[in-house]
Chains A and B, each alone.
Chain A
Amino acid sequence: MNSATLLGLCAAALVGLGLFGLLIHSEPIRKILAFNILGGGVFIFFGVVARRGAAAGFDGDPVPQALVITGIVVAFAATALALALVLRLSQMSGKPISGTPASPERREGAGERC
């Protein structure tokens, strides 16, 4: 088994875990975490594609790496937006974000977005 195959299997496992988490969890914060795991799997898969050098038979193909940077930035921005929404919601309802109660400092700076 070479490194590309190993990474590919890791990517598949992460994507599977992420999708599973997205489907079974109802708490938003867990869904966001699951999305990040899913995203991580997708990004690693881009690395695998680059390693295989599909485009021109190079040792490594730079294009997927350029693509994955964009993907990571987008996922980061998406996570920030989702967290801002979650924080604002918990601020308004007074309910904790997850099973544990939200600390007061966390409530202070929360949810400037909407």
Chain B
Amino acid sequence: MLVAEALTDASHARGFLLVLAIVLPVAGVLLAVVLGGRYAERIALALLPIGLGVSVAIFSDVWEEGKALTYVLGGWEPPLGVRLRADGVAVVMLVTTAIVISCTVLFASADFSTPHDQKEARRPLAFWTLLLAVWAALNTVFLAGDLFNTYVALELLTFAAVPLVCLDGRAETLQAALRYLVFALAGSALYLLGTALLYGAYGTLDIGLLAERVRSEPSTWTAIALMTAGLLAKTALFPLHLWLPPAHAGAPAAASAVLSALVVKGSFFVIVRIWFDVMPGLSTEVAGQLLGSLGAAAILFGSVLALRQTRLKMLIAYSTVAQIGYLFLMFPLLIGSAAAGTWGNVAWTGGWLQLVSHAFAKASMFMAAGLIAEALGHDRIAGLGGIGMALPTTVVAFGLGGLSLMGLPPSGGFQAKWLLLTAATAEGQWWWALIILTGGLLAAGYVFSVLTHAFSKADGVMALLTPISWRREAVVLALALCALFLGLLPLRPLDMLLIGRSNPWGVPLQ
């Protein structure tokens, strides 16, 4: 028996890498809690290269093999056992997460360090453990092969993200954290109810097995509707976005970067899993158009509200609401593409590219806003005059991130929006193309309004409260350049996104 199991595992000799991707950050969290704040930072720094290395190793394995990497825990095959599975999109997300977290650690080590001559405080310890916990939870979300593990991972993500919001301990951040928690909890209860329905109907929660068994019937529709609604609350898609701006704007800059760049994408990832892995071919055009319209509304409302903000971090947070909307344009385009042929691949690539480029761009912009707020002591947009001269690297990084949001070449955001636009016009769904273009114009409006203020003359003498180290500015710029250079990637590596998908866009089953 053992020999037979060893043989099945041998086909995925590097499957243990998937376990490492989850276990390493978890071990980091536990060690940090035991050893205390002074060591927490060192543990995070030590885990960076290892975690990044593991992610890249998984990426290169999936890339070379051209098929998904799986690991069956304890040798128990599903439906009884639990499977970890890294397909193309999962490994892209793993690597993106590793890069953004690494940059965050480098950026935050100035904010949350404990010098030798100071006593340990609770704030640094909380930040480093929570950051590692976010990393562990995200990796679990991406690698989980069944819907219940996904639930547990999403809950871990919420529990790590909510305290990050109120790290400052000010009353308004506590309020924002509580609101975030209430939305997330309502969402997770609905998600759990959906998994119960699916288990009751099909007797498994393994994504691969469900995809074979699932039928178009009322219990499935109810389950999918409940789970999607719950996850939308966690992803902050319009009109469930109310919690996001105060939460993301109130958190410390390094935490906002992770929350906006990665955490909301975790639940989005699960929505895509459910719609295109659990029930390929069952999603109807009406449902796709509905999700797309919510996305379109998010783009318009988010951008208009971003334009009206007077504080920089609030502006960036509302722009996240808008950019999340673009992700949901994938759904009508993919579902509609069943008739239109290969355009589904274009929309799929565009959607994921939007996700990755937004992650880099938004992390960079939140960190830039953090540096600006540190230097000026405030983040009122009207009072930014002269900062463009004082912190040129930071402001340029902000602008480069902004290129991605607007969708101007050569940024990753340009390529993403261009692919979505092409798919929309090719499939005859021209109304999404209009939304994409309008969203780009509005984004240009709010990015340029910040840049205009930043490059205008200072009112009086420009004095920075604290000097800003060039290392932190370099991290911000590096993230912005990641977002920019994504647009220069040749399209072939993007085939990566299709690895491990058999019946991608739900070509109708009849």
Could you give, for residues 200-221 of chain B, a 1 whenever the CB lies within 8 Å of some chain A CB and a 0 otherwise?
A: 1111100000000000000000
- Secondary structure class of chain A's binding surface, majority of residues: helix
Instruction: Note all chain A residues with C-beta closer than 8 A to B171.
Output: 89, 92-93
A6 cross-chain contacts in B, Cβ below 8 A? none
Q: Known interface pairs A31-B182, A49-B199, A85-B181. Does A77 touch B159 (Cβ–Cβ under 8 Å)?
A: yes
Complex contacts, B178 vs chain A, CB 8 Å: 28, 82, 85-86, 89
Q: Cβ of B274 < 8 Å from any Cβ of A?
A: no
Inter-chain contact B174/A114, CB cutoff 8 Å? yes
Q: A82 CA to B155 CA in the complex, in Å? A: 13
By a CB distance below 8 angstroms, the chain B residues around A63 are 199
Q: Is B148 an interface residue (CB 8 A)?
A: yes
Q: Are the CB atoms of A42 and B193 closer together than 8 Å?
A: yes
Q: Which 3 A-B pairs have the closest CB atoms?
A: A55-B203, A49-B200, A114-B166
For A81, the chain B residues whose CB sits under 8 A away are 159, 162-163, 181
Q: How extensive is the interface on chain B, given as a class? A: 20 to 34
Nearest A residue to B162 via CB reads A81
Interface of B is mostly: helix
Which residues does chain A contribute within 8 Å of B196, judged by CB atoms?
A: 42, 45-46, 49, 64, 67
Alpha-carbon separation in the docked complex, A67 to B174 (Å) = 31
Interface residues on A, range: 35 or more
A78 touches B199 (CB 8 A): no
B175 within 8 A of A: yes
Min CB distance B329 to A, Å, is 28
Stretch from B35-43, B101-109, B184-192 contacting the other chain: B184-192
Interface string of A22-37 (1 = CB under 8 A from B): 1000001001100100
Kindly identify which residue among B148, B158, B174, B197 contacts A92, using a CB–CB cutoff of 8 Å.
B174
Contact of A54 with B202 at beta-carbon distance under 8 Å, contacts A81-B159, A113-B163 already known: yes
Residues on B with C-beta less than 8 A from A38 are 186, 189
Q: List 4 extra interface pairs beyond A18-B189, A38-B186, A114-B167, CB under 8 A.
A: A63-B199, A67-B148, A85-B181, A114-B166
Once bound together, how far apart are the Cα atoms of A8 and B141, in whole Å?
A: 30
- A37 and B362 CA atoms in complex are apart in Å by 37
User: B169's contact among A18, A46, A71, A114, by CB below 8 Å, is which?
Assistant: A114
Closest to B202 in A: A54
**A7 to B: closest C-beta gap in Å:** 12
